[in-house]
């Protein structure tokens, strides 16, 4: 059985802004896309990382499980709070993507 995306997906509704998931069911709906891995489909990752509301992007940056490519995107966000949160997460990531190698390290 294939897995389903468990993310909220933003919808553009006139007059709605600054609403967060769980607060408003009109400009957010539960996505049910099939996903091969993880808990959120690529469309949702994209929609959330490009969401006009900085609060949403900040939540994404602080979320456990946000992949490093999304964090890399958020680290260059125009909102300094979002960018800093994403940078902090990237520095604490022990995932497969390493920005620097220390092969020539000598002690
Ligand atoms: Zn709304
Ligand atoms: Zn989705």
- Give the residue, 23 or 82, on which the prediction is more confident: 82
The pLDDT value recorded for residue 76 is 97
Q: How far is CA 14 from the centre of its chain?
A: 24
Q: Looking at the domain assignment, is residue 102 inside a domain? A: no
Q: Looking at the domain assignment, is residue 100 inside a domain? A: no
Quote the ligand 2 centre to 41 CA distance (angstroms): 4
Q: Looking at the domain assignment, is residue 22 inside a domain? A: yes
| pTM of the predicted protein model | 0.79
H/E stretch holding 4 reads strand 3-4
Q: Is the pLDDT of residue 93 over 80?
A: no
Q: Looking at the domain assignment, is residue 106 inside a domain? A: no
Which structural domain range is residue 89 located in? 3-94
SS3 8: strand
Q: Looking at the domain assignment, is residue 103 inside a domain? A: no
- Ligand at minimal distance from the CA of 7 is 2
Return the biggest CA–CA distance within the chain: 60
- Ligand at minimal distance from the CA of 6 is 2
Quote the ligand 2 centre to 98 CA distance (angstroms): 27
Q: Is the pLDDT of residue 102 over 90?
A: no
SS3 69: helix
Confidence of residue 98 (pLDDT cuts 50, 70, 90): very low
Domains: count for the chain? 1
């Amino acid at each position: 059985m294939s897995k389903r995306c468990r993310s909220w997906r933003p919808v553009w509704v006139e007059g709605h802004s600054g609403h967060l998931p769980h607060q408003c069911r009109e400009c957010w709906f539960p996505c049910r896309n099939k996903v091969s891995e993880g808990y959120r489909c690529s469309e949702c990752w994209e929609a959330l990382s490009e969401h006009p509301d900085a609060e949403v992007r900040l939540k994404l940056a602080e979320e456990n499980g946000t992949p490093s490519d999304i964090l890399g995107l958020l680290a260059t966000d125009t909102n300094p709070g979002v960018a800093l949160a994403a940078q902090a997460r990237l520095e604490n990531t022990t995932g497969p993507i390493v920005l620097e190698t220390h092969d020539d390290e000598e002690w």
